[in-house]
Structure 1
């Protein structure tokens, strides 16, 4: 049994005439007759019986026809859905990004793309998570693109640098370091710090900074999300080395530049390697690359 046989059966059941059905299907009548006989042989029953110059469904043909029409309708809906999601000018792009990029970077990038290509009917679905969750989602085809940190030993994922964030020291108001124009990393090591969790893409960057300076930080708390980290600092739970993100300006804390440090937080666009990319996803990815070049 194949799909063509089911289409032929459904059309013959509607028209109830072999010659007319064959004409509509662009088939010869013998080819249509052979397809129906093969289907009947596979099912082990007669689906049609003669009625005058035409044919009509048998009792079992009527039963089978209900299932065939339902299956073909479901298939047609699936075809339309896939085309609507992956077309040249219409579709959905599943984007995942880390928390720090949710207030400005990703919204601005997407809105600029939509304004640049007003002729496209494109929708974006957004998911926020940490880098490890985003990478896993890309490998499982949950997301089309991710904006996150780069992780090592991920041959299934291609990382393209598309932006940077400066790293700063964040302290609560009234802290001994507050009010300074800049600080060395050594000056921060004497105070309890709030660090990123080990599954954060930024944790290796901060760890490397302290290792290169031969310093051992006092880690008081570990947390995953940048906004929560800034909130803890504002409530005097510790200080933090973190990206200079917009939410810092809204909290009761001080932002101090790091002296003698060239470390930045690089933002990467992550894409699955060797997996099909719908036209609109490819177009958006190329737009991001050109914009960041």
Structure 2
């Protein structure tokens, strides 16, 4: 049984007329009749019967028709997806990002890409998560790219490219003793209760590192799972936090204070799985990102 036989069979089912079916298929009527006869011989049942000039589908043909249609539809869908995969102007890009990059960095990068490509049909499927989750999804081939901060960008099997330097700030309630400071230093926080993101987060490890560099030990008093919770605890004067300045902070009764000389920043990277082959649309976006960031 061949794909052409299936196509020919379905066309005769649709037209119930061999001459019309042959015309629609752009083949000769004898070729069509021969192909249908071969298919019937292979199945050992008649698929059509003729009465004078009228063609009827047999019960065997009626039973066989939906299976052929599903098979043809499935093959056509597969062909569509293959063509989509090899076209750099078509397809999906799965991109994970941490919350602090979602208000400007990620939207701006995607907007710049669409402006660069013009009228293209690339769809971005976005997932917000913490850094470990994004990294795992990249390794498991669930995401094409991740945008996240990294303390160490030397990771086996992971390609990395710096895309942003993100400044970190102190957040404190308006009643806090440091609330009126124009700048602060890590030493000012030696005895403070710290509201931190969970221990798997980049901010948790980075805060430990900042204190360790000053021979201090941070007093992690509350661990929370996302930035809204941190801001809520801080605004209630239950501790201080160290975080990027994101739009969500404006919703809380707190102050955002830079560190002395705006000295505390972290590198944000775009990452991808360097051990696998990528579709043309994914590679196209990567090349654009390289060029866009360099400029």
Fold match by TM threshold 0.5: yes
Q: Output the CA distance in 2 between the equivalents of 1:86 and 1:244.
A: 40
For 1:53-74, what per-residue CA distance to the aligned partner results, in whole angstroms no more than 9, with x for missing partners? Answer: 9997543233212210233124
Between 4-13 and 189-198, report the one with greater CA deviation. 4-13
Contact 2:99 2:128 in 1 (8 A): yes
In structure 1, the partner of 2:113 is 113
Unaligned stretches of 5+ in structure 1? none
Q: CA RMSD in A?
A: 3.8
Shift of 1:264: 2.3
CA shift in 2, pair 1:186/1:4, >3 Å: farther
Unaligned stretches of 5+ in structure 2? none
Contact 2:8 2:32 in 1 (8 A): no
In structure 2, the partner of 1:286 is 287
In structure 2, the partner of 1:130 is 130
Q: Output the CA distance in 2 between the equivalents of 1:273 and 1:249.
A: 39
CA shift in 2, pair 1:290/1:50, >3 Å: same
Q: Output the CA distance in 2 between the equivalents of 1:40 and 1:54.
A: 21
In structure 1, the partner of 2:171 is 170
Q: What secondary structure, in the 3-state scheme, does the structure 2 residue paired with 1:202 have?
A: helix
Q: Output the CA distance in 2 between the equivalents of 1:4 and 1:213.
A: 75
Between 215-224 and 275-284, report the one with greater CA deviation. 275-284
Aligned ranges 1:13-32 → 2 under 5 Å:
24=25
Shift of 1:145: 2.1
CA shift in 2, pair 1:14/1:36, >3 Å: farther
Q: Output the CA distance in 2 between the equivalents of 1:152 and 1:36.
A: 65
Q: Output the CA distance in 2 between the equivalents of 1:33 and 1:258.
A: 83
Shift of 1:129: 1.4
Contact 1:86 1:92 in 2 (8 A): no
What's the TM-score once normalised by structure 1's chain length? 0.78
Q: Output the CA distance in 2 between the equivalents of 1:3 and 1:209.
A: 66
Q: Output the CA distance in 2 between the equivalents of 1:250 and 1:290.
A: 36
CA shift in 2, pair 1:134/1:158, >3 Å: same
Alignment length (residue pairs): 292
Shift of 1:156: 4.1
Aligned ranges 1:261-272 → 2 under 5 Å:
263-272=264-273
Q: Kindly indicate whether residue 45 of structure 2 is the aligned counterpart of residue 63 of structure 1.
A: no
CA shift in 2, pair 1:233/1:48, >3 Å: same
CA shift in 2, pair 1:196/1:9, >3 Å: same
Q: Output the CA distance in 1 between the equivalents of 2:122 and 2:201.
A: 31
Q: Output the CA distance in 1 between the equivalents of 2:37 and 2:205.
A: 66
